[in-house]
Amino acid sequence: MTAHEIDYRIYGEEMQYVEIELDPQEGVVAEAGSFMMMDDGIKMETIFGDGSQNDSGLLGKILGAGKRILTGESLFMTAFYNTLSGKRNVSFASPYPGKIIPVDLTEFGGKFICQKDAFLCAAKGLSVGIEFSRKLGRGLFGGEGFIMQKLEGDGMAFVHAGGTMAKKILQRGETLRVDTGCIVGFTQEIDYDIEFVGGIKNTVFGGEGLFFAKLQGPGTVYIQSLPFSRLAGRVLASAPQGGGKQKGEGSILGGLGNILDGDNRF
C-alpha cells in the first residue's frame, strides 16, 4: 500500500467526530479547521499541496496546491504523525450536523469523486485532486457539482454529509435524479450529467431550481438531506434585520408582538 493503513472509530449521532488510531510513524492529512483533539506524541505539520506520493517534488506540490485553489480550498493541508512507539489517537469533527462517511478506496477501484466541501480527512499518501466535467451541460449549469474533488489511492478517506445520509447502489442503466447540492459523492463508474427540469410552471414557480443532477449506474451514490448552502440560506433568511430580536416570530401577532414586548425594532 502507498497510503498509511489506519484504524478508526466514529462517535456521535447528529454532530459526529472520527477518532483515528495511528501506529508509530503513521499519519493522516486533514482539511484546515477540522481538527478536534489529539494525544500526546502526535506531531502536527502544515504541508503544501495534498501530501500524497504524487506531490513529493516541488512541481508536484505546486500542482497539488493549484488544484486545491480551483476547488475553493486552502493552499495548505495539515498532517498529523505519531512520533512515539505506542498507538496514539487524533480526532476530527464534522463542520455542521450530519454524518461522517468512511470511504475505503480499495473497494471502489482506487478513486472516489465527492463535492468540493465534503472531504474531511484521509490516510497519509492519498491524493486529493479535482475532477472536471467533460460535459457542456454539467459545466454550464451544474452549480455546486461542476468542479468536484477526486480522492485517489488505496487507503481510507472520510467525507461529511449534511443532515441524513442516503446510500444508493445503482444497477447498470438505473437512473437517479438529485438536487445538485444534495450529492455527497459517487464511485468513478457513475455517469453524471445535468438535466433540465422542464415545463413552464416548474421553471417559473417550482422553487427547486432549473436543473437536476442525473446519475446513471452502475455504481454507488451518497446523498445528503441538508447541503450546507441550503442550511446557510435558511439561517440568513431567518436572521433579524438590523440585529433586532424577532420575539413575535411564529405567533399570531407576528411583528406586532415586538411592540407589545417593548421592543419596536423590526
Per the listing, cell 441550503 goes with 230
Residue 190 lies in a domain: yes
Q: What sign does the dihedral 122-128-134-135 (CA atoms) show?
A: positive
Residue 246 lies in a domain: no
- pLDDT value at residue 142: 45
Per-residue pLDDT at 206 exceeds 50: no
pLDDT tens sequence across 70-125: 555 556 788 999 999 999 999 999 988 999 999 999 999 999 999 878 899 999 98
Whole-structure pTM over 0.75, yes or no? yes
Count of the separate structural domains present in the chain: 1
The closest of 36, 30, 1 to 15, measured between CA atoms, is 36
% of the chain with per-residue pLDDT over 90? 42
Instruction: Kindly report the CATH number assigned to the domain that includes residue 209.
Output: 3.60.160.10
Residue 56 lies in a domain: yes
Q: What is the CA radius of gyration of the chain?
A: 22
Residue 248 lies in a domain: no
Confidence of residue 259 (pLDDT cuts 50, 70, 90): very low
Residue 262 lies in a domain: no
pLDDT tens sequence across 35-68: 999 999 999 998 876 666 555 555 555 555 555 5
Show the domain range for 165.
7-236
pLDDT tens sequence across 117-137: 889 999 998 888 887 665 544
- pLDDT value at residue 26: 92
Instruction: Report how far residue 201's alpha carbon sits from residue 207's, in angstroms, rounded to the nearest whole number.
Output: 10
